[in-house]
């Protein structure tokens, strides 16, 4: 899952990037509203963590611009503005959730997962495809009754594939789910991660549709 963080406070920004990366998200971080808007126009993020008090363009204006351009990326507002009117304004402008500073890192992660889960239509968040069961909040994968140990990137790839079992997922979409901007992926690293994933789960589970992408065969 690839997140965009729009936050001008460098300390909060650094801590959030580290904390979210530790649990397997890939995070892109910009420090002002205008950069946030241009990042969002690329449509590569699953969810935006948006601060309200931002230089160059405040969070609310950014949110209104994004929604006006029919972009329905999930938006979780994180703000120090605690007044009820501010929260209502945030939600009315198109935010999917509102979290007040200071917040607990675990709560933020839980809310991000909850929002992403709602988007994929699974209330429990547990993805099931054939004999595979993937629980994003506990970060566990079961094949039958056997627990499979995966790296963060392998887990992210499998999660993306399991959201639409049987459907072909493009190579770009898979890359976006595991790489932030800072990662500079080499052209064949996606194949490397997929190779290890196949080794752990069975070679014929993930099929390559040449020139299009990959699909989970169940």
Partner 1 sequence: MSTPSIRRQLTAFLLIVLCVGAPALSFAAYWLMLTEINEVMDDSLKQAALLLADKDLRGAIASSGVTPVLSSTDAESKLTAIARRRDGSLLFASTPELALDFNPIPGMSVQEAKGERWNVFTVLQFDRIVQVAQPVSVRRDMAAESASQLLIPLCVVIILMGALLFGALRQGMRPLEIANRALARRGIDSLEPLALDGIPAELLPFVRTLNELLQRLERAVREQRGFLADAAHELRSPITALQLQAQILERSHDPRERAAASDELAAGVHRMRRLVEQLLSLSRSSADSPALDSFASLNLGELARSIVLRWIQRAERRCIDLGADVRDEARVQGDVTQLETLLNNLVENALRYTSAGGTVDVIARVDAGVPVLAVADDGPGIATGDMGRIFDRFYRGSASVGNAEQGSGLGLAIVKVIAQRHGAEVSLHPGLGGAGVEVRVSFRHERAAPPRA
List 42, 43, 69, 101, residue binding partner 1 (CB under 8 A) = 101
Exposure b/e, 47-56, CB count within 10 A at least 16 = b:
bbbbbbebee
Applying CB under 8 A, does 56 fall inside the site for partner 1? yes
Closest CA to 2 of 38, 37, 42, 34: 42
> Does 182 interact with partner 1 (rule: CB under 8 A)?
no
- CB of residue 176 to partner 1, shortest distance in Å: 25
Does 85 bind partner 1 (CB under 8 A)? Our answer is no
Closest CB to partner 1 among residues 104, 184: 104
Which pair of structure tokens corresponds to residue 152?
């963060």
The distance of closest approach from Cβ of residue 130 to partner 1 in the complex, given in angstroms and rounded to an integer, is 33
175 binds partner 1 (CB under 8 A): no
Sign of the torsion formed by the C-alpha atoms of 43, 155, 197 and 27:
positive
Residue 55 interacts with partner 1 (CB under 8 A): yes or no: yes
Region binding partner 1 by CB under 8 A among candidate stretches 12-20, 41-49, 61-69, 143-151: 12-20
Q: Where are the alpha helices (DSSP H) in 31-165?
A: 33-40, 59-68, 84-92, 105-120, 152-163
* Calpha distance 185→192 (Å, rounded): 11
Rule CB under 8 A: is residue 32 a binding residue for partner 1? Answer: yes
Total binding residues toward partner 1, as defined by CB under 8 A? 23
Contact flag: residue 22 with partner 1 (CB under 8 A) = yes
Q: Which stretch binds partner 1 (CB under 8 A): 95-103, 126-134, 141-149, 150-158?
A: 95-103
**CB neighbours of 180 closer than 8 A, spacing ≥ 6?**
2, 26, 27, 28
26-30 β-sheet, strand order: 26-30, 2-6, 47-50, 74-79, 97-100
Q: Is 139 in the site for partner 1 (CB under 8 A)?
A: no
Residues near partner 1 (CB under 8 A) are 8-12, 14-16, 18-19, 22, 31-32, 55-56, 80-81, 101-106
């Amino acid at each position: 899952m690839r997140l965009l963080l729009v936050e001008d406070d460098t300390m909060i920004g650094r801590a959030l990037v580290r904390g979210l990366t530790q649990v397997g998200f890939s995070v892109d971080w910009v420090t002002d509203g205008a950069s946030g808007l241009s990042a969002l126009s690329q449509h590569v993020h699953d969810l935006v963590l948006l601060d309200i008090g931002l230089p160059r363009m405040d969070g609310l204006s950014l949110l209104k611009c994004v929604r006006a351009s029919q972009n329905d990326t999930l938006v979780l507002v994180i703000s120090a503005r605690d007044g009820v009117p501010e929260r209502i304004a945030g939600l009315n402008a198109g935010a999917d959730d509102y979290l007040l500073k200071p917040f607990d890192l675990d709560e933020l992660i839980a809310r991000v997962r909850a929002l992403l889960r709602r988007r994929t239509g699974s209330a429990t968040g547990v993805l099931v495809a054939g004999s595979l069961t993937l629980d994003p909040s506990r970060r566990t994968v079961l094949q039958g009754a056997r627990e499979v140990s995966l790296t963060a990137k392998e887990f992210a790839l499998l999660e993306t594939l399991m959201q639409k079992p049987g459907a072909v997922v493009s190579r770009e979409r898979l890359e976006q789910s595991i790489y932030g901007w800072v990662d500079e992926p080499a052209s064949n690293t996606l194949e490397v991660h997929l190779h290890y994933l196949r080794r752990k789960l069975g070679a014929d589970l993930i099929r390559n549709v040449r020139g299009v992408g990959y699909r989970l065969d169940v």
